[in-house]
Structure 1
Amino acid sequence: MPADLAVIGLGHLGLPLAQAATAAGIGTIGYDPDPPTAALSGADGPLTATELRRLLSAGFRTTTDPTALGRVRTAVLCTPTPLGEDRALDLTALADAARTLAAQLRPHTTVILESTAYPGTTEEFLRPLLEEGSGLTAGRDFHLACSPGRHDPGNRTHRYANTPKVIGGLTPACTEAAAAFYGRLTDKVVRARGPREAETAKLLETNYRHINIALMNEMAVFCHEIGVDLWDVIRCAETKPFGFQAFRPGPGVGGHAAPIDPHYLAYKGRAPGHPLRMVELAQEVNGRMPRYVIQRCAALLNEHGKSARGARILLLGVTYKPDIGDQAGSPSREIASRLMELGAHLTYHDPYVPQWNVLDRPVPRADSLYEAAAAADLTVLLQAHRTYDLQGLSVKAQLLLDTRGATPTGAAHRL
């Protein structure tokens, strides 16, 4: 079956898109400059090993040959755009992918950006690269649109088909070309006024999540200090049928969609005069949570006559979400490194992570969960995977700190 779609970047956005397109009967290739086996392997990927085998057996294939990009009708850019140390998006991989695609771009191709980007990236960053490298004009010779990724790893309710796709094209014809493509994959297509609106919708969705989690994290610290059960507060508050959506605190915020402040428009060399101060504050609050978890660990050990130095501490769940192996941005690594620096002896358990290194050292993995919990001076639940019997663990553990509020009431110390 000839390829009709090229997915450029086989990460947390690209592979789910390839899976949905292949299932819809669209001939799909995946392009990644790294060897295909490296792009598709790894226990922490967005698809399980079984899903990957099914994808490949259904006809999906990968390539490192850029000439293959010139034989498709639709090309979707799903390259990573991670945050750098200055909290600005790193668009290097996107620029490289755009130049590679531009050299192969044919007239009438539809090019779509799914990678997380600043408002204006499609028009002011991506478009010039494609036009200069191809000699074609966007909106006239080829279609250009933005449709931000919305994949939620491990979500059993909202999958690709029933998650609406927001689309903003450079021209109305560009929007319709992209809508025709995504209409084959999803039940609902939402047309934005343009690429900037689509990009900013992603910005709002991501920042909304982080700001609300930050509020809950501040409430967690506040409620602990005044002796109030925040988890019961949330249970009560979420019964309000209007004006409230429940978020929950945790040891930090992980994931691929980090909060973005358009104040950092590094690729344009300028910034608007009004940064998103609430986003900056949310990042600061959420960034403090791993240190707060360490404080709670030290305090609990101290209350039981023990010091963090030399303590045997078991960490449960080191991924950023429950029931998946993805560790992107997980706060568990910072928590583990800080405990190591305090002199604690760490072990970990995670059914989705067979090996785990922190500070360039392997952390021993507990083979028998109950025995490890019984032997540890402190067990810290960082991620509540469904496979964990939290009631049983609370009985076996000498001391249990639950950072997710997942244990039965009174069974553990909660964040």
Structure 2
Amino acid sequence: MAPGFPASVAVIGLGYVGLPLAVAFAEAGVSVLGVDRSEAVVAGLRAGRSHIEDVPAERLGAVLERLDATTSTERLPQADAVLICVPTPLNANREPDLTALTAASDAVAGQLRAGQTVVLESTTYPGTTREQLVPTLERGSGLVAGTDFHVAYSPERIDPGRTDFTLATTPKTVGGYTDACGAAARDVYATVCEDVRVVSSPDVAELSKLLENVFRSVNIALVNELAMLCDRMGLDIREVVDAAASKPYGFMRFDPGPGMGGHCLPVDPFYLAWRAREFDFSTEFVELAGKINQQMPYHCVQRAERALNDQGKAVRGSRIAILGVAYKRDVGDIRESPALKIVALLRALGADVRYHDPHVEALPELELRHEPLDRVLADADLTVIVTPHSHVDYDAVATDDRIVLDLRGVVADRRRPSVYSL
């Protein structure tokens, strides 16, 4: 099995990770089979409609001749490489939910042929590729990993909305089941990535992904905890961070906020903590960071209560405008967004909550829809800036006669009496 330029690639899971990857391979001249269980997603892609903001319709339309979307896995044997990019969320008990990964692994195993390279990209705990994926593929196909086919793990590094580091320019980590597996996966990704780095095992690659995001989680938790302390001490946490960040060495800036969202930061620490317990080890530092960040929406709601109380108003019956419900700036991704918890908590207290976010047309579970900015701001007793999209002039929002709770530090004059901060 001599690794080389893949003539065809199959991508299973056409979401925030899978679709950009599939399009990148198609742009490189590779024939791509895109598999997704959602008939609506597949129908949209076939019609040239992208459901992912990082893949505009123009870019998708340019590669439709080489990108065939389907709900069927029957043609997987035609692909030189199969890349698994399915969701790996947490269940209700904050433990790994590998339901989608198990289903995808079974599907690949039933179609696997000798000579193929299978790569898992979904975020997971160290040992998943070796202990879960490989046995499933071998059992279902009758083939031997590392001898008849290649297996590797390569963590996704997708940051929705980011343009300075792309799939092509962000270094790609690969961990093969064997050295030959690593080399095969490296050659697959070299088609679309400028810098592919091979590590010694899938376990190393799996843990490296968790470390990347645990690092951010822990540091965000630190500054969020200090934000709560500064609130009690009557200090401005952002002024404190600004001062510390002036040090040119030994300090990396992290800013406080209403909590973490997205597909990685709120999830990855719990994957690591769960896996660590199997080794009779408690990752107390990691778990504490997760707990602190999960509590931030509650702290934000308390700040809203106090801001209204200063005006002689109760939360119950007050009209509250929420600006931004996506988990990050200028994207429409609401996965694990702290705004959802903030809205739910305020409504539970009896508030009349409206939101403005043109990136998110509706929140079906909360039975809310996006409204124009002027309509949301009209007659609002309190305006809460949760996610600061770039289309809004927040200094214009924070007028002297409008009470604003700025959870992101985007209002220039934070000392204005009508502006409350985190």
TM-score w.r.t. length of structure 2 = 0.92
Give the aligned partner of residue 376 of structure 2: 372
Question: What is the one-letter code of the residue matched to 1:146?
Answer: Y
Residue-by-residue CA offset, 1:86-107 (whole Å, 9 max, x unaligned): 2211111111111111111111
Counterpart CA distance in 2 for 1:311 and 1:407 is: 23
Instruction: Describe the SS at the equivalent of 1:375.
Output: coil
Matches within 5 A, 1:167-178: 167-178=174-185
2:248 counterpart of 1:241: yes
Question: What is the one-letter code of the residue matched to 1:216?
Answer: V
Matches within 5 A, 1:263-342: 263-265=273-275, 271-342=278-349
| 8 Å CA contact 2:29, 2:66 repeated in 1 | no
| 8 Å CA contact 1:32, 1:39 repeated in 2 | no
Counterpart CA distance in 2 for 1:36 and 1:144 is: 30
Give the aligned partner of residue 97 of structure 2: 90
Task: From the superposition, tell whether residues 186 and 351 of structure 1 become closer, same or farther in structure 2 (CA, over 3 Å).
Answer: same
Instruction: Describe the SS at the equivalent of 1:323.
Output: coil
Task: From the superposition, tell whether residues 265 and 118 of structure 1 become closer, same or farther in structure 2 (CA, over 3 Å).
Answer: same
Instruction: Describe the SS at the equivalent of 2:362.
Output: coil
Counterpart CA distance in 2 for 1:91 and 1:314 is: 37
Aligned match of 1:209 in 193, 209, 216?
216
Counterpart CA distance in 1 for 2:234 and 2:127 is: 47
Instruction: Describe the SS at the equivalent of 1:407.
Output: coil
Give the aligned partner of residue 220 of structure 1: 227
| 8 Å CA contact 2:172, 2:196 repeated in 1 | yes
| 8 Å CA contact 2:326, 2:337 repeated in 1 | yes
Give the aligned partner of residue 389 of structure 2: 385
Give the aligned partner of residue 165 of structure 1: 172
Q: Which moved more, 1:154-163 or 1:239-248?
A: 239-248
Deviation at 1:46, TM superposition (A): 5.0
Question: What is the one-letter code of the residue matched to 1:211?
Answer: V
Task: From the superposition, tell whether residues 221 and 329 of structure 1 become closer, same or farther in structure 2 (CA, over 3 Å).
Answer: same
Deviation at 1:38, TM superposition (A): 5.7
| 8 Å CA contact 1:263, 1:271 repeated in 2 | no
Aligned match of 2:81 in 74, 77, 81?
74
Give the aligned partner of residue 3 of structure 2: none
Give the aligned partner of residue 5 of structure 1: 9
Aligned residues: 408
| Identical aligned residues as a percent | 42
Aligned match of 1:262 in 259, 263, 272?
272
Give the aligned partner of residue 345 of structure 1: 352
Task: Structure 2: state its 5+ residue gaps.
Answer: 1-5
Question: What is the one-letter code of the residue matched to 1:275?
Answer: S
Deviating beyond 6 angstroms after TM superposition, the runs of 4 or more aligned structure 1 residues are 41-44
Task: From the superposition, tell whether residues 107 and 146 of structure 1 become closer, same or farther in structure 2 (CA, over 3 Å).
Answer: same
Task: From the superposition, tell whether residues 241 and 159 of structure 1 become closer, same or farther in structure 2 (CA, over 3 Å).
Answer: same
Deviation at 1:256, TM superposition (A): 0.4
Residue-by-residue CA offset, 1:279-306 (whole Å, 9 max, x unaligned): 1101110111111111000000000111
Question: What is the one-letter code of the residue matched to 1:166?
Answer: T
Give the aligned partner of residue 196 of structure 1: 203
Aligned match of 1:406 in 403, 407, 410?
410
Question: What is the one-letter code of the residue matched to 1:403?
Answer: L
| 8 Å CA contact 1:153, 1:324 repeated in 2 | yes
Question: What is the one-letter code of the residue matched to 2:272?
Answer: P
2:399 counterpart of 1:363: no
Counterpart CA distance in 1 for 2:42 and 2:318 is: 38
Residue-by-residue CA offset, 1:206-252 (whole Å, 9 max, x unaligned): 11111111111101111121121111222222222222211111111
TM-score w.r.t. length of structure 1 = 0.93
Task: From the superposition, tell whether residues 139 and 46 of structure 1 become closer, same or farther in structure 2 (CA, over 3 Å).
Answer: farther
Instruction: Describe the SS at the equivalent of 1:67.
Output: coil
